Amino acid sequence: MRYALVTGGSRGLGRAICLRLSRQGYPVIINYKSNSEAALETKRLIEEQGGQAELLPFDVSDKEQVEKALDGWLEQHQEDYVAVLVNNAGIRRDNLMVFMQDDDWSSVLNTNLNSFFYVTRRLLKGMMTKRWGRIINVASLSGLKGLAGQTNYSAAKAALIGATKALAQEVAPRKITVNAVAPGFIATDMTSELNEEELKKMIPVGRFGRPEEVAAAVAFLAQEDASYITGNVISINGGLYT
């Protein structure tokens, strides 16, 4: 059976992506770090719409945890594989570079970028053997444009876009596509303390985006029909261009 794994699937964009991929027919593996209550709510919402879901908590920034969790899942699912991988888990720790602490830098790089390497490397073998896969990386406008106060986050997301383009070329012959989405301002916990009233003045659409609007683009890239789209970045930003 073909599964979809969404990292950071407990809340925000990840929850909307889980729900959308479930409606596309995938049993969904919901990864998260610590918020079991939110992850269980995502599972409940999937089941309510007739889908199938399981929880797989691990810290995406911790190589040992990633490998242990994924090895355990693969051990229990000998006949199955993760056909759709959405690398969505992410954090931000904004500060002007002159004040930025070592941990602000390394935690953002580990969670937003190294996680991609740990999780994708482990699951790529299954996709290559089965000769079909979809890898979708959740980048950001910040990785395309660079945003003041986010040198750490912009660096991680820009690197994720570079890795997307390189891996797309490596695995294209195996019918695996690798793409990224680059959301602008989307209403989630991550952006809850931002001043939407002020910021929306510079967004042509005139509002923050909704998680479902990002999930729709991810679902599009996950389809069979999107087989000739690879190494690309889709911006979902209400016209807030770079």
Among 4, 21, 53, 60, which residue sits at the site for ligand NAP (rule: CB under 6 A)? 60
- Name the 3-class secondary structure at 146: coil
Residue closer to ligand NAP (CB basis): 42 or 132: 42
> Of 43, 59, 134, 240, which lies in the binding site for ligand NAP, with binding defined by CB under 6 A?
59
Q: Is residue 32 near ligand NAP by the rule CB under 6 A?
A: yes
Between 61 and 179, name the residue whose CB sits nearer to ligand NAP.
61
Of 29-37, 70-78, 128-136, 171-179, which segment contacts ligand NAP by CB under 6 A?
Answer: 29-37
- 89 lies in the binding site for ligand NAP (CB under 6 A): yes
Residues 143-182 interacting with ligand NAP (rule: CB under 6 A):
none
Structure tokens at 197: 């009233």
Strands (DSSP E) found in the chain: 2-6, 28-30, 53-55, 81-87, 133-138, 176-183, 233-236
Give the phi and the psi of residue 212 in degrees, each rounded to 5: -65, -25
Q: Sheet harboring 81-87: ordered strands across?
A: 53-55, 28-30, 2-6, 81-87, 133-138, 176-183, 233-236
Q: Which residues bind ligand NAP (CB under 6 A)?
A: 7-8, 10-14, 31-35, 38, 59-61, 88-91, 111-112, 138, 140, 183, 185-186, 188-191
